[in-house]
A and B are shown apart, each in its own frame.
Chain A
Amino acid sequence: MDRREFLTCMAWAGTGLAWTVGGGVASSAVLGTPGAARAAGTFSFVQISDTHVGYKGAANADPLASLARTIARANALSPAPAFVLHTGDLTHAQKPGSFDTVAEALKDLKTSQVFYIPGEHDVFVDGGKEFLQRYGQGTVGQGWRSFDYQGVHFAGLVNVLSYKSGGMGALGDEQLAWLARDLEPLGASTPVVVYSHVPLWAVYPAWGWTTADGERALGLLRRFGSVTVLNGHIHQTLQKVEGTLTFHSARSTAFPQPAPGAAPSPGPLTVPPDRLSAMLGLREVRYVETPGPLAVVDYTLEG
């Protein structure tokens, strides 16, 4: 077993455990069956995050090259993902031209649609004006949206527009009121996927890795039988299970960051060149009709 397989198995194992807790379904029967992903009522989608186009630093000499490898991995997935979620920080510090560069690079993604939410790097210069001009179509408020796909309800939340001194991510009253209205008509058996840039739960508040009013959003979600909460921002995989809610942080395609509290600061983590690929990657999420949580597989760029 090489390292990539090992990491994949680790992700499966973690998910399998969650599955058992959440739905009582034998994880191996669902996750290990080759034909399961092609059965009726199943689909998959891909999450990429923190592409940081424009980053120039020691942690990755060529973020566009690792993004291209990420896209190649996504394009090689079978069955092909139904769509792609980009969970923010498309650019690094919103430098002029960066949005054009990332848009050009992502044209190589073989998918029908990419749904975007911003990270703080995409909005801090102009309050999200350019981002919304480019990616705001079909969204409400300041870029949030929901949609349904094959019986699964998706909600993309924006928690980077009200950064304040000493603060952290926040959703705001308007977005929370919208979310409450959006979820209200749904039955508790509807599978829900919520995605944001900054974690909605308190991963590490000392580094700002939390959302001030995230708990209010999670409170609206607890009545559902299966809720998958995806985020980026922290450039590493991290899972948590809390009742019917499963939380998954995604890797960056550009550079890793240290584990919470493992370094003096959350700055880009420079690792030996031969280790970098194992710390970058993408995520495939497979939906199989079952009462349990979704299956989440994280792939690194290694191999």
Chain B
Amino acid sequence: MKSRWAGALAVALGAAVGLGAGGARATSSSQVEIHEFRFAPPDLTVAAGTTVTWMNEDEETHTITASGGLFASPGLEHAETFARRFDTPGTYRYFCALHPHMTGVVIVR
């Protein structure tokens, strides 16, 4: 699990650095694990410009789907990740489109 995360982190950081290189914004990254049909942490507060990476630790397929339709991951199989950079401050609620009782929120400051 540790090694998978390291790989995902490297990709996320690389993407964030790559995007950030042309602008003056600070970049950082943050992670959410999907475990036992829960987003952990369910509430995440990050600075604008942060790339959030979700990793599916479950055997079951899950998605990260914005409540308002702003973004949607494909179905994530076990150990697959989805990353999205949040540049605009706001509250981003999301859920799993296959198991809608699974909910989470990213707060961007």
Contact = CB atoms under 8 A, between A and B. Distances in A.
Interface of A: 56-59, 92-95, 120-121, 124-125, 163-168, 206-208, 264-268, 270
Contacts of B77: 56, 93
A166 B100 contact: yes
Contacts of A266: 37, 99
B74 A163 contact: no
A264 B35 CA distance: 10
Interface residues of B, number: 23
A165 B98 CA distance: 10
Contacts of A267: 36-37, 58-60
B78 interface: yes
B67 to A, nearest CB: 4
Nearest to A124: B97
7 contacts: A58-B59, A124-B63, A166-B95, A264-B36, A265-B36, A265-B60, A267-B36
A125 B103 CA distance: 18
Main secondary structure on A side of the interface with B? loop
Given A163-B100, A165-B100, A265-B36, A93 B95 contact: no
A267 to B, nearest CB: 4
Nearest to A164: B100
Contacts of B38: 265
A241 B101 CA distance: 27
Contacts of B93: 165
A125 B75 CA distance: 8
A264 B77 CA distance: 19
Interface string B87-101: 000000111011111
